[in-house]
Amino acid sequence: MVNINEGAPVLAKAEIEINAYPDKVWSIITDIESWPQWNPDIKEVTLHGDLKPGTHFQWKAGPGKISSVLQNVEPPTLIAWTGKTMGINAIHVWKIETIDGKTIARSEESWDGLLSRAMHGRLQKMLEESLNSGLKYLKIEAEQ
């Protein structure tokens, strides 16, 4: 299983409680091409194949286009991918858990590379805001 790079210069983790079944949360996260419909931070997504390890997808979020590859797909609890944009090597992991009958969605991401080291402070804030807003939009979509 792929994990985020705990030694990366930019790293963020966030979680949220969602009042929906884990399967519903999973179906929203894994319908990759529908991300722009519920998350306004994501402008476009193209998935090149099925939802399985090794499948590539391109997407636009923030200032750049991101080229990603699915690494782990373990329904309905975990999906992870690696990605590259503007010299940043990213690893993103989504985890869905049920704790005391509540659905908890966790989003973790690490950024490594020259830009991540040079602009650590600004990129750290940007990543934290991105994870938190993504979780907020996921909660709104899942609880509808």
Q: For 29-54, how does the pLDDT look when each residue is reduced to its tens digit (9 = 90+)? A: 999 999 999 999 999 999 999 999 99
CATH number for the domain that contains residue 92: 3.30.530.20
What domain range includes position 61?
Answer: 10-142
Backbone angles phi, psi at 88, to 5 degrees: -100, 130
Considering the domain boundaries, does residue 21 fall inside one? yes
SS (H, E, C) 67-122: EEEEEEEECCCEEEEEEEECCEEEEEEEEEEEECCEEEEEEEEEEECHHHHHCHHH
Task: Give the integer Cα–Cα distance in Å for 13 and 11.
Answer: 7
Structure tokens at 8: 């990366």
Task: Give the integer Cα–Cα distance in Å for 58 and 12.
Answer: 22
Considering the domain boundaries, does residue 4 fall inside one? no
Considering the domain boundaries, does residue 3 fall inside one? no
Considering the domain boundaries, does residue 1 fall inside one? no
pLDDT category at 91 given cuts 50, 70, 90 is: very high
How many domains in the chain?
A: 1
Is the predicted pLDDT of residue 124 greater than 90, yes or no?
Answer: yes
Task: Give the integer Cα–Cα distance in Å for 66 and 72.
Answer: 18
Q: Across all residues in the chain, what is the average pLDDT?
A: 96
Please choose, from the candidates 25, 77, 65, 71, the residue with its C-alpha nearest in 3D space to the C-alpha of residue 51: 71
Considering the domain boundaries, does residue 34 fall inside one? yes
Question: Considering the entire predicted model, what is its pTM?
Answer: 0.95
Q: What is the mean pLDDT of residues 87-95?
A: 96
Is the predicted pLDDT of residue 62 greater than 90, yes or no?
Answer: no
Q: What is the mean pLDDT of residues 16-25?
A: 97
Count the helices and strands in the chain (H runs, E runs): 4, 7
Is the predicted pLDDT of residue 21 greater than 90, yes or no?
Answer: yes
pLDDT category at 63 given cuts 50, 70, 90 is: confident
Considering the domain boundaries, does residue 2 fall inside one? no
Contact 39, 142 (CB under 8 A): no
Considering the domain boundaries, does residue 87 fall inside one? yes
